[in-house]
A = this chain, B = another copy of it.
Amino acid sequence: MFAAFLPKEFNFFDLFEKQVGFAGDAARYFKELVTKGAIDENSLSKMHDIEHQSDDVSHEIIDRLNKTFITPFDREDIHSLTKELDDIIDMLYTIVSRMKVYKISGANKQLIDFAVVIEQSVASVAAAVKAMRHMKHSKTITDACVEVNRLENVGDTMRDKALEQLFENEKDPIVVIKWKEIFQYSETVLDICEDVVHVIESIFVKQA
């Protein structure tokens, strides 16, 4: 009810929603790119734009943090949350960039499966971020955390199967090196999503 006197508090929620929106954009574009199976200079630059916009929001969050006396939760948690959200987008950019460096082309069924799961996990992360505004909605947060954890397990299994087939079928070691990294980085995106919801859980613990 003191909201009118503390307008700056609310900006954090707006900014986090904005940033998780960019994570959603990155996940959708990642799926589009790996489905098409071709990374050119243009697609890399578009992914870079999304990453840059997320960076800008991060800087705005830190900047406002410096200028705001009262914050809705711990300053350190605000730092962690914006960093982890940024890490999701960074990792997606890294994968796309590495695919270009490795001159990988052609749609890979397993990578597309990863992209689908990543898009789902980021959507659940977004739901958790949005529920932070009303910390009372703990069920939304808990459900999102359970789902992100579940998808991380799904990703583990997908990576293991992908690696198993890769080492079974691919005889060119250079190709093995490339795809091993792509699959492991894809699973890492799901690990970072889990880290984000852990930060949110930890914020929630302190508010409880």
Residues of A within 8 A of B (CB): 62, 65-66, 75-76, 79, 83, 97-98, 101-103, 160, 163-164, 167, 173-174, 176-178, 180, 198, 201-202, 204-206, 208
Contact = CB atoms under 8 A, between A and B. Distances in A.
A102 B167 contact: yes
Q: Quick one: copies of this chain in the complex?
A: 3
Contact of A167 (B66, B101, B163, B202): B101
A192 to B, nearest CB: 14
Contacts of A208: 66
Nearest to A171: B174
Given A173-B174, A177-B173, A201-B62, A75 B167 contact: no
B66 A205 contact: yes
Contacts of A198: 79, 83
Contact of A176 (B66, B75, B79, B174): B174
A151 to B, nearest CB: 16
Given A160-B101, A164-B101, A62 B205 contact: yes
Given A177-B180, A208-B66, A202 B79 contact: yes
A160 B205 contact: no
A97 B173 contact: no
A189 B49 CA distance: 25
A150 B194 CA distance: 28
Nearest to A181: B180
A202 B202 CA distance: 18
A168 to B, nearest CB: 8
Contacts of A66: 204-205, 208
